[in-house]
Amino acid sequence: MSSDPAVAEEIGKAVPPAPARRKLPGSLRAWLFGTGAFALAAFVVAVVFGVLWWSSATGGDAGLARSRDAVAQAGTDAVLAYTEVDYQHLDDYFTRQKEVSTSDMAQQIDRARPNYAKALTDQKVKVTTSVQDLAVEELDDHEGKAGFLAAITTDTDAGGQHGTKALRLEVSMTRVGDVWKLSGIDNVPLVAAGQ
């Protein structure tokens, strides 16, 4: 024992024991191998999904998707051109229709214009349209043919009367050059549920 009081005091103090190190089950080598395997699996998954993403973004499906989007945009414009009318601006109405139509449809418009313009003017018809939904149901990019269904709502003022009507239209489109044009339009009857 030491007779020095300072040394005796230090010896008398309890030194906290060092915290015990937790041991993980298994060896360090097994943990390193497992971690490396998970990292390799994550890398392989990232590469596979990257290749799949790249091939879908640059493959034939991407071109088809662009064509479908072009049909949907041109189709929306065509539906609006055919369904929105203001009896005070009939020249603009018929011009817009002819711009979005194939030559056959443009000829039909020219033939029907005199009678149709008279009826619209006599009734003082104004129609605004909102396209609720449009679904391309067929698309043949090689032949340049497409078809879609459109759900629209029209607000009509005619002869002092106002009305709102929901319509479904079946529309055919034909590609002329690089532009999709309307080649046919027809009403699809709405059927009530349970009929």
Residue 35 maps to a domain: no
CB atoms within 10 A of CB 170: 14
Predicted pLDDT at 61: 72
Residue 176 maps to a domain: yes
Residue 13 maps to a domain: no
By residue range, what is the domain housing residue 150?
Answer: 60-188
Predicted pLDDT at 86: 95
Q: Say if residue 75 is exposed, middle or buried (CB neighbours under 10 Å; 0-12, 13-18, 19+).
A: buried
Predicted pLDDT at 53: 86
pTM of the predicted structure, to 2 decimals: 0.68
Residue 2 main-chain phi, psi, to 5 deg: -95, 145
Predicted pLDDT at 24: 61
Look up the CATH number of the domain holding residue 96. 3.10.450.230
Side-chain-side CA neighbours of 71 within 13 Å: the count stands at 27
Predicted pLDDT at 12: 57
Contacts of 134 (CB under 8 A, 6+ apart): 72, 75, 76, 79, 148, 149, 150, 151
Q: Is 13 helix (H, G, I), strand (E, B) or coil?
A: coil
* Cα–Cα dist 119/132, whole Å: 27
Residue 195 maps to a domain: no
**Tens of pLDDT, residue by residue, the chain (195 residues):** 555 555 555 555 666 666 667 666 777 888 888 899 999 999 999 999 999 888 777 766 778 888 999 999 999 999 999 999 999 999 999 999 999 999 999 999 999 999 999 999 999 999 999 999 999 999 998 999 999 999 999 999 998 899 999 999 999 999 999 999 999 999 998 776 666
- What stretches of 124-178 adopt beta strand conformation (E)? 126-140, 145-158, 161-176
Predicted pLDDT at 5: 57
Residue 75 maps to a domain: yes
* Cα–Cα dist 148/187, whole Å: 12
Residue 86 maps to a domain: yes
Residue 136 maps to a domain: yes
Domain count, the chain: 1
Residue 180 maps to a domain: yes
Residue 79 main-chain phi, psi, to 5 deg: -60, -45
Predicted pLDDT at 18: 67
Residue 186 main-chain phi, psi, to 5 deg: -155, 150
Q: Say if residue 52 is exposed, middle or buried (CB neighbours under 10 Å; 0-12, 13-18, 19+).
A: exposed
156-159 long-range CB contacts below 8 Å, 24 or more apart?
156/125, 156/126, 156/127, 157/124, 157/125, 157/126, 157/127, 158/123, 158/124, 158/125, 158/126, 159/123, 159/124
